[in-house]
């Protein structure tokens, strides 16, 4: 897929994400009326999540008919023909990866730390991503071959030389042993770093791309949480672990991201903690 086609797709994706953001923000403003279900520990879903994902799927189907979509709420509509489409299957076709509201816990609590996340990957890797924050009014767009932007202005990662140069966002996954996250936090703090947790992995990765955080670490993320953000970090000149290695597309992976200079130190946070891609998506 050439640059012109990627840019065309990015523009369409941005329009879809902005439209989805309008719907999500409408639900956010009347969140006290939402029906909420529990999918697992610390894992909630509401009718807002489902409604926003339906809108995104409809718009993607109209713009890119027949292309596979993986969404947090609606699942994988290409699960029966993975070999024909998408990463790991040998077909190389585009795969759209959607989180309609990343940061649902924050969304439902009235905390403005959530976003709409839409990414696209292919056999050659993550291709593009849009992370739209309807509350703050920021839209992050880009990809490895396209650069990265916030509201149309170029952004770059912070090329920190050490953990003392800024904040590292650390996500928590209950799909991995708690001791792993505690080990990472201890290593980070002993190396002179500080950490932050915002509640939205996709938005946090966008902040890495924009140089607001110097790095991101989470023991396990599903691709709908990470794909768009990883595309942004790579577009902004940063480094990310390979989230699609092995069965990462459908089972998730450890996600580490930073500027190029800090990448070796970020990798040391995961030493001895096992493989990159672990755990089933809920």
Q: What is the spatial distance between Cα 240 and Cα 228, in angstroms, rounded to a whole number? A: 12
The residue among 185 and 33 whose pLDDT is bigger is: 185
CA 217 – CA 2 distance, rounded (Å): 31
Ranges 42-56, 98-112, 115-129: which has the least confidence: 42-56
pLDDT at 282: 28
- In terms of pLDDT, which residue wins out, 47 or 266? 266
* pLDDT computed for residue 70 by the predictor: 96
> Which tens digit of pLDDT belongs to each residue from 123-177?
889 999 999 999 999 999 999 999 999 999 999 999 999 999 999 999 998 888 8
Q: Which of 81-85, 194-198, 251-255, 272-276 has the lowest mean pLDDT?
A: 81-85
> Do 70 and 95 touch, CB atoms closer than 8 A?
yes
pLDDT reported for residue 1: 87
Q: Is the predicted pLDDT of residue 275 greater than 80, yes or no?
A: no
Report how far residue 111's alpha carbon sits from residue 188's, in angstroms, rounded to the nearest whole number: 26
Where do the H-state alpha helices sit in 30-149?
47-63, 104-109
Q: CB–CB of 185/170 below 8 Å?
A: yes
% of the chain exceeding 90 in pLDDT: 72
Q: Which of 105, 97, 50, 59 is nearest to 77 (CA)?
A: 97
pLDDT at position 188, please? 97
Task: Tell me the per-residue pLDDT of 204-221, one tens digit each, with 9 for 90 and over.
Answer: 999 999 999 999 999 999
Please choose, from the candidates 193, 196, 221, 219, the residue with its C-alpha nearest in 3D space to the C-alpha of residue 207. 196
Element holding 29 (H helix, E strand) = helix 3-29
- 215-221, strands of its sheet edge to edge: 194-196, 167-170, 215-221, 253-258, 239-240
Q: How far apart are CA 95 and CA 118, in angstroms?
A: 11
Please give the structure tokens belonging to residue 129: 């991503």
Q: Which pLDDT value is given to residue 253?
A: 93
pLDDT for the residue numbered 39:
53
Question: How does the average pLDDT of the chain come out, rounded?
Answer: 89
How much of the chain is helix, strand and coil, in % rounded to 5? 35, 25, 35
User: Would you say residue 37 has pLDDT above 60?
Assistant: no
pLDDT surpasses 60 at 279: no
pLDDT at position 85 over 70 = no
Q: Which residue has the higher pLDDT, 152 or 49?
A: 152
- CA distances in angstroms from 85 to 44, 172, 234, listed in the order given: 30, 31, 23
Report the pLDDT value the prediction gives residue 92, as an integer from 0 to 100: 60
Give Cα 247 distance to the centre of its chain: 17
Which pair of tokens denotes residue 40? 């697992």
Domains of the chain in sequence order: 3-154 (3.30.540.10), 163-268 (3.40.190.80)
User: Is the pLDDT reported for residue 94 higher than 90?
Assistant: yes
33 has a pLDDT exceeding 60: yes
CA pair distance 56, 41, nearest whole angstrom? 26
Q: What is the CA radius of gyration of the chain?
A: 17
């Amino acid at each position: 897929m050439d640059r012109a086609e990627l840019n065309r797709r990015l523009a369409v994706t941005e329009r879809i994400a902005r439209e989805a953001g309008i719907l999500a923000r409408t639900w956010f403003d009347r969140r006290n009326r939402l029906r909420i279900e529990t999918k697992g520990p610390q894992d909630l879903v509401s009718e807002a999540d489902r409604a926003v994902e339906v809108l995104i799927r409809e718009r993607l189907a109209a713009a890119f008919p027949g292309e596979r979509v993986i969404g947090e709420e609606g699942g994988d509509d290409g699960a029966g023909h993975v070999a024909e489409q998408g990463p790991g299957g040998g077909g190389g076709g585009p795969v759209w990866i959607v989180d309609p509201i990343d940061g649902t816990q924050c969304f439902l609590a009235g905390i403005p730390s959530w976003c709409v996340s839409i990414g696209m990957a292919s056999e050659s890797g993550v291709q593009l991503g849009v992370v739209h924050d309807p509350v703050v009014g920021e839209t992050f767009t880009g990809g490895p071959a396209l650069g990265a932007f916030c509201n149309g202005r170029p952004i770059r990662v912070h090329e920190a030389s050490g953990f003392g140069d800024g904040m590292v966002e650390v996500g928590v996954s209950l799909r991995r042993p708690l001791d792993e996250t505690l080990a990472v936090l201890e290593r980070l703090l002993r190396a002179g770093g500080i950490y932050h947790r915002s509640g939205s992995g996709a938005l946090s990765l966008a902040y890495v791309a924009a140089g607001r955080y110097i790095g991101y670490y989470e023991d396990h993320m599903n691709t709908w949480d990470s794909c768009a953000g990883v595309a942004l970090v790579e577009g902004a000149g940063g480094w990310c672990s390979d989230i699609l290695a092995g069965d990462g597309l459908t089972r998730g992976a450890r996600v580490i991201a930073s500027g190029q200079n800090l990448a070796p130190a970020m990798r040391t946070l995961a030493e001895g903690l096992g493989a990159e891609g672990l755990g089933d998506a809920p």
